[in-house]
Amino acid sequence: MTASVNRRITGRAPLRKRRLSLSARRSAVGLAFVSPFVVGFIAFYLRGLLLTVEFSLSDLSLRPNGGYDLAFVGLKHYIYAFREHATFKQILTSSIGDMALDVPLILFFSLFMAILLNQRFRGRTLARAIFFLPVLLNAPAIADALELSRAMMLGGTSPASAAVTQAAGSGGVNVSYYVGMLADLGMPRAALDYIVGAVERINGIITSSGVQLVIFLAALQSISPALYEVARIEGATAYESFWKITFPMVSPLIVTNMVYTLVDSFVSSDAINLSFDTIFGASKQYGLGSAFSLVSMAALCGILMISSGVVSRRAFYQN
């Protein structure tokens, strides 16, 4: 008994020690590679998140020479945000509502266009280049400046600007006439409103689906042509091979793209702008702004978890 224990210790210990040290060295090297990220995550993200929680529970006043004082006030800011603040609830719900409307449209549009661009035709390279342009030109600062100048033109009093505005408004199709006609034909009103809203926002939808489109394109390219060949030999129609091959194969990336789209549209939403303005605007309500951003982040996390849970259960994973 003791001999065997002894032998186990003496016989195996050096070997195990050596193997351990090798794997330990390997894991140390791995940690060294990852270390910048670990430091960055702890120093900026973890610390930031904890401090934001702390700020949201306190009244914060900045000292003139830098640094700050905290006075713990409990849930005051949260209660204020939900009970008293004039616009927070509306802005949050409308941000979430816009997201819920836009995300399915963006996903559908980018998948559809990716399938179209994946086919062989002349000018395909050019078309792809054009479809990716919006990602390049999506600069919020420039968009804001253009928006401002448009607003100035609309509000402008000079006759020239009025003429320009009128000229811009006079063209186009009378949409409400067609909507009324379709409604008379018995189309459900809610569906009509959704479609009209989608058409009105077509610009935003197209410009915010560049990255998703490229990801879907990459996914489509990675599907083996042999699958389609087999399907064709077995007599599947194009419609069937779309639903049985293409759709399942890209379905994991629907989840990826959905998460990307949700986060992307949330970052530019009014709820985020509100918390930025509350903190850095004229009022400098640090605690309240922190509470705003935490509440909207919690909302985003909830939406992400629910939607990716629902969709990824239906997605097809190869392994």
Partner 1 sequence: MRSVTSRNTRGRIITGAKAWTLSLLRWALIVGVSYIIVSPLIGIAARSFFSNSDQFNPMVYLIPQTPTLERYRAAIDIMGYADTLPRNLLFVGGLAVIQALVCSMVGYGFARFRFPLKGLLFGCLIVMIVLPSHVIMLPLYMLFQRFDPLGILARMGIAPPNLLASPWPMYIMTLFGAGLRSGLYIYIFTQFFRGLPKEIEEAAEIDGAGAFYTYLRVMLPNAMPSAVTVVIFSVVWQFNDKFYAQLFSISPKIVLSKQISGLQASVSNLYQLRDPSLTTLYLYAGVMLAIVPLLVLYIVLQRRFIEGVERSGIVG
Mapped onto helix, strand or coil, the DSSP state of residue 87 is coil
Q: Which of residues 82-121 bind partner 1 (CB under 8 A)?
A: 113, 116-117, 119, 121
> What is the smallest separation between the CB atom of 79 and partner 1, expressed in angstroms?
20
The reply to whether 284 sits near partner 1 by the rule CB under 8 A is no
Instruction: Pick the closer one to partner 1 by CB: 104 or 204.
Output: 204
The reply to whether 22 sits near partner 1 by the rule CB under 8 A is no
Q: How many other CB atoms are found less than 10 A from the CB of residue 215?
A: 19
CB of 76 closer than 8 Å to CB of 56: no
Choice from 16, 68, 93, 310 touching partner 1 (CB under 8 A):
68
Contacts of 70 (CB under 8 A, 6+ apart): 54, 55, 58, 59, 60
What is the maximum span of the chain, computed from C-alpha positions, in angstroms? 105
Choice from 70, 94, 101, 161 touching partner 1 (CB under 8 A):
161
Task: Give the interface segment with partner 1, choosing from 74-82, 100-108, 209-217, 240-248 (CB under 8 A).
Answer: 209-217
> What is the smallest separation between the CB atom of 130 and partner 1, expressed in angstroms?
5
Choice from 92, 103, 258, 279 touching partner 1 (CB under 8 A):
279
CB of 124 closer than 8 Å to CB of 131: no
Choice from 33, 72, 177, 239 touching partner 1 (CB under 8 A):
33
Contacts of 192 (CB under 8 A, 6+ apart): 179, 182, 183
Q: Which of residues 173-202 bind partner 1 (CB under 8 A)?
A: 202
> What is the smallest separation between the CB atom of 142 and partner 1, expressed in angstroms?
5
Q: Which of residues 133-152 bind partner 1 (CB under 8 A)?
A: 133-142, 144-146, 148-149, 152
**Burial label, 294 (beta-carbon count in 10 A; 0-12, 13-18, 19+):** buried
The reply to whether 288 sits near partner 1 by the rule CB under 8 A is no
Choice from 30, 97, 188, 302 touching partner 1 (CB under 8 A):
30
> What is the smallest separation between the CB atom of 5 and partner 1, expressed in angstroms?
29
Instruction: Pick the closer one to partner 1 by CB: 85 or 294.
Output: 294
Kindly give the residue spans of alpha helices, DSSP state H, lying in the chain.
2-7, 13-40, 47-56, 76-83, 88-118, 124-136, 140-155, 159-170, 175-184, 189-200, 202-207, 210-221, 225-233, 238-241, 247-267, 270-280, 286-314
Reference 254, options 192, 317, 190, 198; nearest CA is: 317
The reply to whether 164 sits near partner 1 by the rule CB under 8 A is yes
Q: Residue written as tokens 């042509």? A: 225
Mask for 214-243, x = binds partner 1 (CB under 8 A): xx-xxx-xx---------------------
